[in-house]
Amino acid sequence: MEANKFINHQTTEDFILDKEFVFWVLHPNKELDQFWESFIRDYSEKEVLIKNAILIIESLQPIGQIVPQDKLNVIFQKVQRSGRMAKFNWNSSLKYAAAISILIAIGSLIYLSVYRKNQFPVEASTETFEKGKVIFADGTTKEFDTKQTTIEQTITGNLTINSDTIDLNPDQTNSTLNQIIIPYGKRSEILLADGTHIWLNSGSQLSYPTKFQSDSRIVFLTGEAFFDVKANPEKPFYVITRDIKIKVLGTSFNVSSYSEDNLVQTVLIKGKVTAGKNKLFAGTIDLIPGERLTFDKSNSNISKDKVEVQLYSSWINGYLIFKNKPIIEVFTKLKRFYNQEISVEDGLDQITFSGKLYLGDDLKDVLENIAFASSVNFQENNGSYLIIKK
Amino acid sequence: MYTFENYFKVGHLMNDRDIWGRFKTGDNDALNLIYTEYSKKLYLFGLKLTPNHTIIEDSIQDIFTDIIRNRRKLGDTDNIFFYLLKSFKRRLVRQLQKEKRYNLKENDEGFVFDIIYSIEHEIIQKENANLKLQSLHQAINQLTARQKEAIYLRFTEELEYKEIAETMEMSIEGCRNLICKAIKSLKDSLQGDTPILLFFLQKLG
């Protein structure tokens, strides 16, 4: 390695944007370490630049990088098998039911999961190919298929899913994260070892450590969840989403932070939380029960107001409550919950809904209830729905 | 650049071009190596675009099924990850756009690149994290989704500007500017005016 290449770097950016410098930071080895150590000694005026460059590069690395290794292994087996099969022209034959039975006869169910219900000319069904899963810190996964699942973490760090115990690899370190993924159309209830209760809504992901740190309890959330945190003044509980960070001592609250939504909301049901933007100078706001904190992604504004908490937490009990809710939002919630396509005809956006809606097993029943009680109706077409004027 | 430490069959370091070449001629050990290394990276990239693991897994399966079927006809490459990523992202995004059910607003891309950085954990760990770190943390949170994606491809996956530009469908110059601007803003955050920061600092709790 030639020091000459780096002598001309005058700023921190010069180092950060240098491919070889980045390579060293990401893949240190004895040889490179020695080179850079002597470089810093010889050009001590550049030491601060280099230290800052390393800080930035390291801070930009992602966390929680675990993959479902066993699932990937299964895929590899299928892939190898298919490599030996004769080529099959998918596009034209999929339209015909005969092609479907041929697929099943060959036993290649894998292809069914690629061309899902939107393309199959079959009756609408509530069957979905998506399963919920837990990805453990060591890469193994456990899938579950029930619409509602209970996951419980024991003191030793083991997990039970719907009462099936899963023994985890005991030499996981403290800082390793496990991840629970709930696809659209499903819900899950999680009980952590510290007694905290979490309800995960459709389309959400929660990352939590196998073992909490000694001075704090941290979880990461994308999507929506309801938290009932076990009080522990020595170990504050943090929920981190992309935009806001919430600190709790012991309390019940709902957080909604879907990446495709414009607003991130936290509603406090019981206890006390302190919340703020995930940034410096985030004026922290305290919430008391009945208050909602809203972060607007479009203008980065944070605000607080009083709400009826039932409107935001009833989903954990299987029903939704609306009060003058615009039609688009109502059906967005239902789409997520049931994992089925629902579109709203033009010209209906002014309509709002109020009332209690039970989330039964079948979306069709729910839509019939809505149609019965309001000025809209619905049309069904191969598993997807269109909301129209009555 | 050497990707694998020990390619056991040959017993010496090999680069991407060689491994890909061997794969193309039917070497299944090479296929094994490629799948083991890159299915993981593709999966991790996919998770930044969507929580839908079924779509991610299907896309991975499609990509590898395709390259096995057509192995002899494939082009050459110096960067296997980039080669696979191009098709993977295209396929994944196409699926996401079809599934564009949960976003009733117009979102052309079908996804928003989302990532949680290691600095998040650092900040929580050390509630008294020095001001420098907190300032950097704020700057990182202000990066746009495009900047985050470009940064991931450059500083985690170490792709070339040309490759990043192609993956993100932008010009090479545009890509370079995007990354430079982002990095400069992060650098600037480390040179905050310390006395004032101390005065206005509010901590959680």
Chain B partners within 8 Å of A383 (Cβ): none
B66: contact with A, CB 8 A cutoff = no
> Where are the alpha helices (H) located in chain A, listed in sequence order?
4-7, 12-16, 19-26, 30-42, 47-59, 69-83, 90-93, 97-106, 110-114, 310-313, 327-338, 363-373
Q: Are residues A223 and A366 located together in one domain of the fold?
A: no
pTM over 0.80: no
User: Long-range contacts of range A161-170, CB-CB < 8 Å, 24 or more positions apart?
Assistant: A161/A134, A166/A142, A168/A136, A168/A138, A168/A210, A169/A136, A169/A138, A169/A140
Report the number of distinct structural domains present in chain B. Answer: 2
Tell whether A24 is covered by a domain.
Answer: yes
Residue A279: the pLDDT is: 60
Backbone angles phi, psi at B202, to 5 degrees: -120, 135
Tell whether B104 is covered by a domain.
Answer: no
Q: What is the ipTM of this complex?
A: 0.83
Could you report the per-residue pLDDT of A256-303, keeping only the tens digit for each?
Answer: 877 777 777 888 877 778 887 766 555 678 888 888 888 887 787 888
Residue A60: the pLDDT is: 94
Tell whether A152 is covered by a domain.
Answer: yes
Contact B51 A175 (CB under 8 A): no
Nearest residue, CB atoms, A63 vs list B35, B43, B118: B118
Low-confidence ranges of chain A (pLDDT < 50): 86-129, 172-174
Tell whether B35 is covered by a domain.
Answer: yes
Contact A11 B187 (CB under 8 A): yes
Contact B117 A62 (CB under 8 A): yes
- For residue A215, the chain B residue with the least C-alpha distance is B125
CA dist A40 and B24 (Å) reads 44
Q: Are residues A322 and A307 located together in one domain of the fold?
A: no
CA dist B135 and B186 (Å) reads 9
Q: Which structural domain, as residue segments, surrounds residue B194?
A: 118-200
Q: What is the dihedral of CA B170, B175, B178, B184, to 10 degrees?
A: 180
Q: How confident is the model at residue B57 (pLDDT cuts 50, 70, 90)?
A: very high
Tell whether A31 is covered by a domain.
Answer: yes
Q: Which residue has the tokens 């370079």?
A: B176
Backbone angles phi, psi at A267, to 5 degrees: -120, 130
Q: Are residues A75 and A55 located together in one domain of the fold?
A: no
B39: contact with A, CB 8 A cutoff = yes
Do the strands A342-344 and A384-389 form a parallel or antiparallel pair, or are they unpaired? Answer: parallel
pLDDT at B104 over 70: no
Q: Are residues A163 and A300 located together in one domain of the fold?
A: yes
For the ranges B52-66, B93-107, B130-144, the one whose mean pLDDT is highest? B52-66
Tell whether A121 is covered by a domain.
Answer: no
Q: Are residues A173 and A47 located together in one domain of the fold?
A: no
What CATH number corresponds to the domain at position B184?
Answer: 1.10.10.10
Q: Are residues A365 and A289 located together in one domain of the fold?
A: no
Tell whether B81 is covered by a domain.
Answer: yes
Contact A17 B183 (CB under 8 A): yes
Report the number of distinct structural domains present in chain A. Answer: 4
Domain termination residue (choose one: B63, B98, B133):
B98
